[in-house]
Structure 1
Amino acid sequence: MIEMRDIWKTYPNGVMAINGMNLSVDKGEFVYVVGPSGAGKSTFIKLIYREEKPTKGKVYVDKKDLSSMKEKHVPYLRRSIGVVFQDFKLLPSLSVFENVSFALEVIEEDTAKIRQRVMRTLETVQLKNKARFKPHELSGGEQQRVAIARAIVNNPSVLIADEPTGNLDPETSWEIMNILEEVNAHGTTIVMATHNREIVNTMRKRVIAIDGGRIARDEIRGDYGYES
């Protein structure tokens, strides 16, 4: 599903963020990416959805070579990759329904299908009764659930979650994790960068620890392994 072959990433300012990385993630896996700040986690995540390109090496997602992909093909790639951020990135002037439907409107999906899929997805994240609300009328946890709904409404094969619980209290964080678990159970591959020690140690999924741009540890049922 995701494969990195001898990946190096050096930024124009000379900072080497990824240093000879090799990795594969199978379809349907749930992977936590951990490591200290500045270790290369954000660059690693951005390489998967083609926000960044490697300086050297090959990145494959669902057998597509992202390293040599033309810019005009990137929007089509992202139809199969959902992304959830720490700060939600919702459009404040749009309702919950409109924030989620936007992902389908840009690919010119049929109007009737849009409503059906959006409402089904909002039901999955337990927000069907708040479809007409604006983001400012929601709690932080509810806003993150809208962000998840927007990311999964296209039925992506891969979901990237970059610190999705970073701005949430512990109880709300577990609500978000339960939703991600359900999404994963339906076959979506999930790669989640996190500093949340409790979640990683409790869930016991595959853990990839990145340090100095390299994979320091890759364990099938790993723990966090760093001081939080």
Structure 2
Amino acid sequence: MNNINVHIGKEEFVYVVGPSGAGKTTFIKLIIRELKPSEGSIHVNGTNLGDLTEKEIPYLRRKIGVVFQDFKLFPKMSVYENIAFALEVIEAPANRIKERVMEVLDIVHLKDKARFYPSELSGGEMQRIAIARAIVNHPAILIADEPTGNLDPETAWSIMGILEEINNRGTTVVMATHNSHIVNNLRKRVIAIDDGRVVRDEWRGAYGYEA
């Protein structure tokens, strides 16, 4: 990526769009310090990511929730266990884990699925569980990488409703997407990336590419 200068403010909802191979995934990997820039600097919540040691990176990621297109749920864990795991790794108290897991299941409207396993869920339900796990630690930022890519249109819109609700609760949402219908109908800020460069940055922007 070259000559990128972007500022995303607190509680914004931003689409990152562009053709395949344009640099959207690289953009996301830089934010979560999966990649390190060869020059320049990236700041997240006031932290210069270039200054982080390898041991400090996991602590950064506790403040950033990430949702992927392919869900990345643990197949042998129940819905409850999948979400609780994110709290167990930071040694949260057991009573707090139970309380918070049920809170986020309520946000994604799946409290009745707590004891189900991923194989028993629809694609939309698995994505909602992935979102619940991503927000269970109260992250300041939620990164969603093609969160509707494997979903039918109706289910995709239900996922967008949940992401909007999370954003309205104060979480910054950065969503990489190819879904022109969602971008054009649910107008937010649009950052368009092409050939590793930001070619457009518009408030309430349109998708701007062929569907």
In the superposition, the TM-score normalised over structure 1's length comes to 0.92
Q: Residue 171 of structure 2 aligns with which residue? A: 188
Question: Could you tell me how far 1:20 is from its partner in structure 2?
Answer: 1.4
From 110, 124, 148, the equivalent of 1:127 is: 110
Q: Residue 100 of structure 1 aligns with which residue? A: 83
CA distance in 2: counterparts of 1:127 and 1:186, whole angstroms: 18
CA distance in 2: counterparts of 1:164 and 1:111, whole angstroms: 30
Q: Residue 45 of structure 1 aligns with which residue? A: 28
From 1, 5, 9, the equivalent of 1:26 is: 9
Q: Residue 201 of structure 2 aligns with which residue? A: 218
In the superposition, the TM-score normalised over structure 2's length comes to 0.99
SS in 1 for 2:175: strand
Structure 1, unaligned runs of 5 or more = 1-17
Percent identity, aligned pairs only, is 67
Higher RCO (Cα < 8 Å, 6 or more apart): 2
Give the counterpart letter for 1:82 in structure 2: G
SS in 1 for 2:138: coil
SS in 2 for 1:31: strand
- Aligned pair count? 211
Q: Residue 149 of structure 1 aligns with which residue? A: 132
1:67 aligns with 2:50: yes
Higher strand share: 1
From 83, 103, 120, the equivalent of 2:66 is: 83
CA distance in 2: counterparts of 1:78 and 1:166, whole angstroms: 23
Structure 2, unaligned runs of 5 or more = none
CA distance in 1: counterparts of 2:70 and 2:105, whole angstroms: 19
1:61-85 deviation digits (Å, cap 9, x = unpaired):
0000101211100111111100000
From 153, 162, 165, the equivalent of 1:179 is: 162
Structure 1 segments of 4+ aligned residues over 4 angstroms from their partners: none
Kindly report the root-mean-square deviation, in angstroms, between the aligned alpha carbons of the 2 structures. Answer: 0.5
CA distance in 2: counterparts of 1:60 and 1:202, whole angstroms: 31
